[in-house]
Structure 1
Amino acid sequence: MAPATELATFPIASGAAVEDGDSAAGKVWQSTLDTVSQQDGFQRLYWGREVEDPSVLQLFVDWDSLDHHKRFRESATYGPFAKHLMTIVDGPLTMNHANLTPHPPTAAVGAAAPVTEVLTIYFEKVDDGFEGKWNEVVKACSDHAEGFKAGAGGWVVEDVEYEGKKRKAYVGLIGWESVEAHHAFRGTEAFKNNIRLLTEGTLGREVHHTEFVQK
């Protein structure tokens, strides 16, 4: 079984200081991370707030396999765990999984990358040739972008919602020294010459940045 990365995103209740371990929300969040990290098949996790919308928290978890996460969700532990977490969540939670290459994606997410560009690209169906295009874009970043750290990417296992319909999605992660470094690269000829690789044959894309902490 291939390793898988859980991709969870949810809005945090207003005023919930999850970074403060002494606060009520911080204790709930630390308990959440502790419970996840104690599960069979857990490898590591990364979490952080979105830069563009700090009310949104992302949690990525590397598992030995998708089945390991499924077994956790089917266990007696999961119900109380989820109920406790939801006390600091203020809105719908989305959870999907991706088989990322390379695995683990630690060079693009976590301590090695101060900020991560999280790019979701939507398709009518899986495009077998897109992985090669993604790798070309990552190479262009490596060759030409100041502040580039590393890239990782993979197809989302589940169908995802996009413009009211279930679609296929590819998740790309690029680690940067800063958001400004990414924005500077977007003004270069190298970016303009390669962005078509991420748009041709796609339905659309969404991008944001997250400052992840690795555990």
Structure 2
Amino acid sequence: MSRVVTEIVNLTFNSDTEIDKPMTRLTEILSKQEGLRRIKWGRWEEDANKVQMMINWDDISSHYKFMQGPAYPNLLATLDGLLAVAPALIHAHFDEEAINKVLDDPVVELATFYGITEGFEEAVDRTLAVGSDSEGCLRYTRGDVVEEISPSETEPKGKAHYAAISWTSVQARLDATTRKEVQESGQAVVSKVGGYEVHHVRFQ
């Protein structure tokens, strides 16, 4: 049975790149592809040279079909010579309506959890619920990563999970971390994973 999937792509551009130009071209190419449902992209708040794309497809086979088709070389050519490192690409399953609403909000906290272990689901549900009580937290969603991945090439790959939490501002997120309940529930999540990465993006 087909299932909507979100392609999550992170691009690290060279510092002198006029990022809007290639991103406009990438969006044009992707928008014409069969099975493409929605595209959102934005720069990392932590590093303006990094861009994240969130691309909804009818199912994962739609994305694979595009990668094997005639338009894919044009997409790669658009990025030729512009990237500092190779693109990072994974897929995750979210509730489509939920992820769309999150990405339309002012700023999104994006968290990858690597090497998840027993008890993770309960711990992450708890920390998301606690965090959502913070001033400025708008909504959240989470989902399993399709691929087995690792934080680095030297570490073993394993089951991963992805969460997207929207906020009114980055400052609201920072303020939330001062709450004791947020800190304690966050530590419970950390104890159930092999590693994690968090950043923030304003999508367009």
Q: Is the 8 A contact 1:102 1:152 kept in 2?
A: no
Unaligned runs of 5+ in 2: none
Alignment partners' CA distance in 1, 2:47 and 2:68: 32
> What is aligned with 1:117?
109
Percent pairwise identity: 25
Q: Is the 8 A contact 2:151 2:196 kept in 1?
A: no
The answer on 1:14 being equivalent to 2:3 is no
The answer on 1:180 being equivalent to 2:171 is yes
Alignment partners' CA distance in 1, 2:4 and 2:98: 8
Measured at CA, do residues 18 and 139 of structure 1 come closer, stay the same or move farther in structure 2, by a change above 3 Å? same
What TM-score do the two structures reach when normalised by structure 2?
0.90
Q: Is the 8 A contact 1:149 1:174 kept in 2?
A: yes
**Equivalences for 1:200-211 in 2 at 5 Å?**
200-211=191-202
> What is aligned with 1:149?
138
> What is aligned with 2:184?
193
> What is aligned with 2:67?
73
TM-superposition CA deviations, 1:31-66 (whole Å, max 9, x none)? 210111111111111111111111111111011111
What TM-score do the two structures reach when normalised by structure 1?
0.86
Number of aligned positions between the proteins = 201
The answer on 1:89 being equivalent to 2:101 is no
Q: Is the 8 A contact 2:93 2:143 kept in 1?
A: yes
Name segments (4+ residues, structure 1) moved above 4 Å: 126-129
Measured at CA, do residues 129 and 38 of structure 1 come closer, stay the same or move farther in structure 2, by a change above 3 Å? farther
Alignment partners' CA distance in 2, 1:162 and 1:193: 23
> What is aligned with 2:6?
5
CA RMSD, aligned part only? Answer: 1.8
Alignment partners' CA distance in 2, 1:34 and 1:101: 25
SS state at 1:48 partner: strand
TM-superposition CA deviations, 1:150-178 (whole Å, max 9, x none)? 11111211121324122322111111111
C-alpha displacement of 1:74: 0.8
C-alpha displacement of 1:102: 5.3
Q: Which residue identity does 1:4 align to in structure 2? A: V
Unaligned runs of 5+ in 1: 20-25
Q: Which residue identity does 2:185 align to in structure 1? A: N
